């Protein structure tokens, strides 16, 4: 018997390793794309399209939450001046993982995990803590993983290239775009 698991997916490339690994472990995986943190809308579309391409190659399907960037900005704007990896990112993780856990509960999933821990740039301890707290709130089982172990990130890059998936060059939020634009202005 397979166990229904909702896999929070931040982007298609980051799901290339976790999704098949979880299937091998006996989970019936459904991908969940939050995406309201992605700016601008054209970037969101590129990432959603890439996830659909990946989903078509995987066992299972993906669901896409409603794109509500104004709501995301409203909930994060007090952290606009925080550095990358600071309180703003923590709040973003909370919003994403809570939305995924809520969806999981409403749709009869029992287990939840995330692809966020494949990134070498993110605090995996914080992500797993936030995810486990969201799972508790909705009476779900959190599957704690550190996907970047065993060259997970490199494998995800290689698999993304093999599949021709769009790979972004920033986290996706409007604040990281502003930071990149400011850096370009200086150059």
Q: What is the pTM of this model?
A: 0.93
How far apart, in whole angstroms, are the C-alpha atoms of residue 152 and residue 16? 9
**pLDDT value at position 97?**
98
* CA neighbours closer than 13 Å in the CB half-sphere of residue 169: 4
How far apart, in whole angstroms, are the C-alpha atoms of residue 129 and residue 135? 10
Overall fold of domain 3-186:
Rossmann fold (3.40.50)
Question: 168, 21 in Cβ contact below 8 A?
Answer: no
| Predicted confidence (pLDDT) per residue in 3-23, tens digit | 999 999 999 999 999 999 999
Q: What angle do CA 15, 21, 27 make, to 5 degrees?
A: 100
How far apart, in whole angstroms, are the C-alpha atoms of residue 155 and residue 14? 10
How far apart, in whole angstroms, are the C-alpha atoms of residue 33 and residue 8? 6
Nearest one of 59, 54, 61 to 159, comparing CA atoms = 54
- Long-range Cβ contact pairs of 75-82 (< 8 A, separation 24 or more): 76/37, 76/173, 76/175, 80/175, 82/175
Query: Which of 7-11, 80-84, 106-110 comes out lowest in average pLDDT?
Result: 80-84
| Predicted confidence (pLDDT) per residue in 26-79, tens digit | 999 999 999 999 999 999 999 999 999 999 999 889 999 999 999 999 999 999
* CA neighbours closer than 13 Å in the CB half-sphere of residue 55: 19
* CA neighbours closer than 13 Å in the CB half-sphere of residue 79: 18
**pLDDT value at position 182?**
44
pLDDT band at 176 (very low <50, low <70, confident <90, very high): confident
The arithmetic mean of pLDDT across residues 106-117, rounded, is: 98
């Amino acid at each position: 018997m397979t166990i229904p698991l909702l896999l929070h997916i931040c982007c298609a490339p980051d799901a290339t390793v976790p999704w098949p690994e979880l299937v091998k472990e006996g989970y019936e995986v459904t991908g969940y794309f939050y995406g309201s943190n992605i700016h601008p809308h054209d970037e969101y579309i590129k990432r959603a399209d890439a996830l659909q391409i990946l989903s078509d190659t995987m066992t299972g399907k993906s669901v896409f939450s409603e794109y509500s960037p104004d709501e995301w900005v409203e909930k994060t704007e007090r952290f606009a001046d925080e550095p990358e990896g600071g309180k703003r990112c923590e709040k973003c993780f909370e919003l994403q993982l809570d939305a995924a856990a809520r969806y999981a509960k409403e749709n009869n999933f029992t287990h939840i995990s995330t692809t966020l821990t494949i990134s070498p740039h993110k605090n995996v301890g914080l992500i797993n803590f936030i995810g486990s707290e969201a799972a508790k709130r909705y009476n779900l089982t959190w599957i704690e993983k550190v996907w970047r172990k065993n060259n997970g990130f490199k494998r995800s890059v290689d698999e993304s290239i093999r599949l021709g998936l769009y790979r972004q060059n920033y986290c996706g939020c409007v604040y990281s775009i502003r930071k990149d634009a400011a850096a370009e202005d200086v150059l």
